[in-house]
Amino acid sequence: MSVSVAVKRLPHSEGLALPSYATQGAAGMDLLAAVAAPMTIAPGQRVLVPTGLAIALPPGYELQVRPRSGLALKNGIVLPNSPGTVDEDYRGELQVIVMNAGDAPFTVERGMRIAQAVLAPVIRASWQETDTLPETARGAGGFGSTGTG
């Protein structure tokens, strides 16, 4: 299934590819860093990495921004608000909050695949207030209540 998404290229994304799927079965599209110069992230530091793109999602969809597993494993690069959500009514630049959880500085280069984006349908909740809830075997048991492992 394919859904059309309008994309506006901002001046600082000139020459970079639009988000794309790396393989036929990929769920996420790679987002590229539209930095003017290399950006070094010190261990423990967070930065905002521009993509140089603005989008108009169709009604009923969100764009989830997720980390790239290779960057996380090899370099400790994570997205602290993952998954980030881009709402259908947002029209600003797509930017990615990137954190270096590794032990060495990491440099973001222009055109680097910095995150992935997954287009997802949104189901909106309609709250129905009640005085009682149906019973379950778990009940009100919270964190760790279903076992130790």
Residue 128 forms part of a structural domain: no
Residue 138 C-beta-side C-alpha neighbours within 13 Å: 8
Residue 63 forms part of a structural domain: yes
Q: For the whole model, what pTM was predicted?
A: 0.88
CATH number at residue 23: 2.70.40.10
pLDDT in tens, 55-100: 999 999 999 999 999 999 999 999 999 999 999 999 999 999 999 9
Domain boundaries, position 57: 16-121
End-to-end CA distance of the chain: 38
Residue 9 forms part of a structural domain: no
Q: What is the pLDDT of residue 21?
A: 95
- DSSP H or E segment with residue 8: strand 6-9
Question: How many Cβ atoms sit within 10 Å of the Cβ of residue 95?
Answer: 19
Domains in the chain, number? 1
**SS3 of residue 13 by DSSP:** helix
Average pLDDT of the chain, as a whole number: 95
pLDDT in tens, 28-53: 999 999 999 999 999 999 999 999 99
